[in-house]
Structure 1
């Protein structure tokens, strides 16, 4: 069986970056948020920050 279909012929495709510098700042967490918010909402904050949102914008209006 030939694997030519799967061979890109260019080994540079395997030079991938698996990490990068994260955003500056810190999450705007409060004691009240940690006690009362659902874990999903808290995870959403960390996910948004990880995607590059500025921490000061995380608690603003949410749009889909």
Structure 2
């Protein structure tokens, strides 16, 4: 297919994840995106672990 690179069939997804996390840490992505949202006056967001449930409030597992 034109426009797509060949995919390595033996790609190490854990290794790829580590590369992405290292790049984000090097570029301070998380802190920068929070600062940018504050500067724009965007509403705050909360992140919860796990899917929502019908029988209780979200929490940490």
Indicate whether the TM-score tops 0.5: no
Relative contact order higher in (CA < 8 Å, ≥ 6 apart) = 1
In our comparison, the structure showing a higher alpha carbon Rg is 1
Output the TM-score relative to the length of structure 2: 0.28
Output the TM-score relative to the length of structure 1: 0.27
